[in-house]
Chains A and B, each alone.
Chain A
Amino acid sequence: MAARPRAFPPGIEIPGYPRSSPPGLPRSVLSPGKGRSSVARDFNPGRRVRRPYISCVLLLFAACSLHAQAPKPSPPIRFEEISERAGARLTHHTRVFQGKKADVLGMFTSGGAAVAVGDFDGDGDDDLFVTDSGAGRPCHLLRNEFRPTGKLTFTDVAKEAGVAGGNDPKSIVADALWLDADNDGRRDLLVARFGTPILYRNLGNGKFQDVSKAAGLTKFANSIAAIAFDYDNDGRLDLLLGHYFPPIDLIALPTPRVLPNDLDNAANGGGVSLWRNVTAPGSSAVRFVEVTEKAGLSHHTGWTLDLGHGDLNNDGWQDLYLADDYGTDRLFFNNRDGTFRDATREALGGLDTKKGMNAEIADYDRDGWLDVYVTNITDEYMKECNMLWHNNGDGTFTDLSKETGTCNTLWGWGAKFGDFDGDGWEDLFVVDGLRSAGPENYIPVLLEMIITPDIDFTDINNWPAIGTMSWSGHQRKKLFRNLGTQAFREMAADAGVDNDLDGRGIGVADLDDDGRLDLYQTNANQASLLYRNVSAPAGHWIELRLTGTKSNRDAVGARATVRLGGAVLIRELNGGNGYAGQSTARLHFGLGTATRIDALEIRWPSGRIEKVTVPVDRITTIREGSGVVK
């Protein structure tokens, strides 16, 4: 399928950020002398420490160079790593299994390090729920203290709130999600597990109550992903769970044949389950019923790793993209009658064999159509390339990852769009790395198994032990700056986010209300990172906090459209897109140098369209039917 030529939408230029600078040169000519922050510099595992005399020589050379040439301009996007001082550095633990093949099973379940961003206490700033997966290990609810103190610090209140549990002997926490399940204005918390999910109802006094059983969420599954969206536009948030393994008890294995039956076209995974929210209006008795089969999603039996939703055909209804490990991703269009149709072949031009790890959705090229970004595995031994599914606007998509420079993120995991420099274009942060351990490489060992004739891949006993070997570990993260020309430039090192930890999930949010999007990165079996955005100067901005009335209270699925100097920017509020990471519920728009916007329109999931006026460089609350309320 060939990419169709499109008229490219006009851009917003920020002085000093030319879009056509020569390759390899930083594009900004901003404040000089800003190097990597000390925290970021100190926390950079894997970097070699240079000897003092070499440093002296370099220093001397640098001093001489200062006289000879202009100071190096600072990059347009900069972050500083502040997890330790902000009280947000948490070490994740993967589950340790017992038995002969415990380490192989551990590898196959090496996710579970997730972050969900949401304002649980209604104080206006975003809080973080961070998962752990070790037996008996607590999960963390990090209350953001920015609003009361003006300092970006966090306090772990999980135990008092009653949400620390979940890693019991029979269950493994794998993902988490904020959603207002009963439309009472307080965000509840779903914890997805290899086991049964937990739904905590937010009681509004800093405490939560486990209502899973009463809500009907008692079905055992090996869930690794969860999104909340209103698939039938009835004003209530429904749940879609992605299941990796089929529903077998991994902790007490009934059979050793539990692994994928094909490493490129596996069809023995857990698929997905769709749960319709049937809570009575005004009732706090949350209730879900499973509608997977009725909705036309039960034939999907892949190894689901991530779920993404969005209105991909601009018809006002939420569509689905499922990223599957060991083979075929799936794209479903919403039939607007409570069912979905599998459009994978016609929309994506066939069935893929890649290792889908992440489904993130945004309009990266500002053409008014949501695009899909999927991470896969691109490494020395597997050349899959990611997929940037450019929405052609006619129900089909064209993969432009190679053309845009976003193809290679090694062993990819979570990926999130966000306008990190506020220039009006969505940039992209991607984390990667499977297992960083000893110097020995697991791949040649694994190959011997893979090429054994007639080997049964499903049998865990056939997989070689990994011991202390590394497998696609120590990989540098990627930050792609959107150049606005169907091209991105990778600049993670310049931006200070090129850590080499085993990344999993990303939460994007403006945690300190300064209009710049910050990042929280979770890592498997390693400490998490909090990157505060210190890009300076960043563009002007608006942030919108939406409240549904006829639509679901969280306004998931609402679309904001900003018109600005001939450009049209859209943001759609999603309920947890991206692997192991839910981002802020505020819609953020970078505006570049613009100090006003021409028009802002909200299309609510109910179908209502509202035109509103909002101030620039402010967070504005908009209520469905009432316009701007704060």
Chain B
Amino acid sequence: MRRFRTLLLLAACAAPALHAAAFDDAIKAVAAHQDAAALPLFEAALNAEPDSLPASNEYRKAVIRTQEYDRAVGFYEKLTAAHPDAAFAWLNFGYAYVDKIPAAGSITQMILANKALTNFSKSIERRKSWIALYTRGNSYLYWPKVFGRAPLGVADLEQAVAIARAEPRKIKVYVRSWVALGDGYWKTGQSEKAKATWGEGQQLFPGDPQLQARLARDGEELEKYLYDQLDPNKRVDTNLAPLYEE
């Protein structure tokens, strides 16, 4: 028993080292344009540190380039089963489905989007992070009005904005929660609140192009622009680098 505990301790200490080595090798492979070779290295890095945002982020980018969407889904399925408390593993499990959406047919898109939502919820259950709330809230907005999911998105995004407001440091990427919350208000018929939210975002993050584009439009032009932004056939930006690089 004592020996087993020692092994566990050793393994815990070794994990970050293992992660770092595998992650470095994976990044080198990507730099050498060997995405296929990088995938198992990223997976090894994530097995050692399942909550690593950089490893998941670079892994999914390589998956998009190689179009190995099903591999990523299968990998995160196993990863979250082995590490059920890893909130960011669940988050990236959701992203793995989102990444596949543009490559899928119109009905499969709905199935994938729904599976992504389930995993985002599991991430939030484990840790109420800004990124998970923003992501789930934003995902709800992609659903057509007929499904009535936009109010759920607004609720998540209000929480995300509250977290961002409470953050003493002004983190640039947080501007996205103001953008999305405004979109949510607009999609739920609260256009004045939408404008006010985008305006508040503009004050906090002057010059943000997403907010500028919205505030510069009105009426049908704004409607067309926002529908275009929420087109499920366009690839959603699931790049998390701005979050950890800042």
Q: Does residue B107 face the partner (Cβ distance < 8 Å to A)?
A: yes
CB contact between B105 and one of A265, A443, A447, A451 (< 8 Å): that residue: A265
Are the C-beta atoms of A451 and B114 separated by less than 8 Å? yes
Is there a chain A Cβ closer than 8 Å to B229's Cβ?
no
The 8 Å CB contact of B148, one of A353, A354, A444, is A444
Interface SS of chain A: loop
Q: Within 8 Å of chain A (Cβ to Cβ): is B40?
A: no
Q: Once the chains bind, are A441 and B104 in contact (CB under 8 Å)?
A: no
Nearest-Cβ distance from residue A402 to partner chain B, whole angstroms: 11
Of A152-160, A376-384, A480-488, A581-589, the one with at least 4 CB within 8 A of chain B = A376-384
A299→B24 CA distance, assembly (Å): 47
Check A353 against B110 for contact (C-beta < 8 Å): no
Question: How far, in angstroms, from A380 to B115 measured CA to CA in the complex?
Answer: 20
Q: Across the interface, which residues of A come within 8 angstroms of B232, CB to CB?
A: 383
Q: How many residues of B contact A (CB 8 A)?
A: 17
- Is B216 an interface residue when CB atoms closer than 8 A count as contact? no
Q: Is the CB of B106 closer than 8 A to any CB of chain A?
A: yes
Task: Say whether A264 faces chain B, with CB atoms less than 8 Å apart.
Answer: yes
Most buried by B among A353, A381, A441: A381
Once A443-B146, A447-B147 are accepted as A-B contacts, the answer to whether A381 and B110 lie under 8 Å apart by CB is: yes
Chain A positions 240-273 with a Cβ under 8 Å from a chain B Cβ: 262-265
> What is the bound-complex CA distance between A443 and B146, given in angstroms?
8
**Interface size grouping (class) on chain A:** 20 to 34
- Closest-by-CB residue of A relative to B232 is A383
A316 within 8 A of B: no
Chain B interface helix/strand/loop/mixed: helix
Residue with the greatest number of chain A CB neighbours at <10 A, chosen from B104, B111, B114, B148: B111
A263 to B146, CA, bound (A): 20
CA distance A444 to B148 in the complex (A): 9
- Within the complex, what minimum Cβ distance (angstroms) separates A564 from chain B? 39
CB distance from B67 to the nearest CB of A (A): 12
Contacts of A355 in B (CB 8 A): 106
Q: Is B108 among interface residues, defined by CB-CB distance under 8 A? A: yes
Inter-chain contact A354/B106, CB cutoff 8 Å: yes
Contacts of A382 in B (CB 8 A): 106-107
In the complex, what residues of A have CB within 8 A of residue B111's CB? Answer: 450-451
Instruction: List the interface of chain B (C-beta within 8 A of A).
Output: 104-108, 110-111, 114-115, 144-148, 231-233
Q: List the interface of chain A (C-beta within 8 A of B).
A: 262-265, 327, 353-355, 377, 380-384, 441, 443-444, 447, 450-451
A-B interface, 7 closest residue pairs, ranked by CB to CB distance from nearest: A264-B105, A353-B105, A263-B107, A451-B114, A382-B106, A380-B144, A381-B144
Some 30 contacts from A to B, beta carbons below 8 A apart, are A262-B108, A263-B107, A263-B108, A264-B105, A264-B107, A264-B108, A353-B104, A353-B105, A353-B108, A354-B105, A377-B106, A380-B144, A380-B145, A380-B146, A381-B144, A381-B146, A381-B147, A383-B231, A383-B232, A383-B233, A384-B106, A441-B146, A444-B146, A444-B147, A447-B110, A450-B107, A450-B111, A451-B110, A451-B111, A451-B114
